[in-house]
Structure 1
């Protein structure tokens, strides 16, 4: 089968950035296919388009400082 396979969306989740651990390297921003993350005020990484997030976890797995977690939200 050719083409891109859609990434299944996690139902209830959110991206949490531990700003004390984040070194502003931008790896998470560069690899987010949906443009969810960006540098906010003060140069800190933040979720700016959370509705676009599919919950793939790439940002979490690539963060060298373990500053990003993908957490499930209660309904």
Structure 2
């Protein structure tokens, strides 16, 4: 990189809204596809073999769990500030 090139500062990159993972237990058939595809281990089987948001702080809002859920039981909802 030469001195004439500029580097984009992180502060100038727009931030995505914070989201939270919500599991609709009435729609979830407990297949575990969301757990298998979450590479951040946010989701896990909990009591009664129910899918739970075990580690919400690890979520990067990628949407993979929401996209792969065959029953539309998982949504990413924007958190209120």
Structural mapping, 1:1-75, within 5 Å: 10-75=16-81
Query: What TM-score results when the alignment is normalised by the length of structure 1?
Result: 0.85
Structure 2: gaps spanning 5 or more residues:
1-14
Between structure 1 and structure 2, the one with the greater Rg is: 2
Greater relative contact order structure (CA < 8 Å, 6+ sep): 1
Structure 1: gaps spanning 5 or more residues:
1-8
RMSD in angstroms over aligned alpha carbons?
A: 1.2
**Aligned pair in 2 of structure 1 residues 14, 44: CA closer, same or farther (>3 Å)?**
same
Query: What TM-score results when the alignment is normalised by the length of structure 2?
Result: 0.78
CA contact (8 A) 1:14 1:71 kept: yes
